Amino acid sequence: MAVTVNERVDYFGQNVNIAARVQALADANDVYITADVYHSPGVDDMLKAHRVFPEEVLVKGVSEKLHVYKIGPHRHNH
């Protein structure tokens, strides 16, 4: 749900909660994405040069484990 308050748009709902929880998993140099993002068209091609580490996590406000992916550094081609 999107709401405009004082000329500013703010977003609410389960997807926003999940995004915030996945963001909180990451340290300073980490990138995490959800399974929905991972399986979106074109993402596979963008990640071919990276190491990808699948994880299952429990987060506050979500009853089931989330499938997330930690995106690692570029692969080194020798």
Residue 77 is predicted with a pLDDT of 59
Of the two residues 14 and 49, the one the predictor is more confident about is 49
pTM here is 0.73
pLDDT, tens digit, for every residue of 21-49?
888 888 888 899 999 999 999 998 999 99
- Domain 2-74 in CATH 3.40.50.720? The answer is no
What residue spans define the domains of the chain? Answer: 2-74
Residue 73 to residue 51: CA distance in whole angstroms: 6
Residue 55 is predicted with a pLDDT of 93
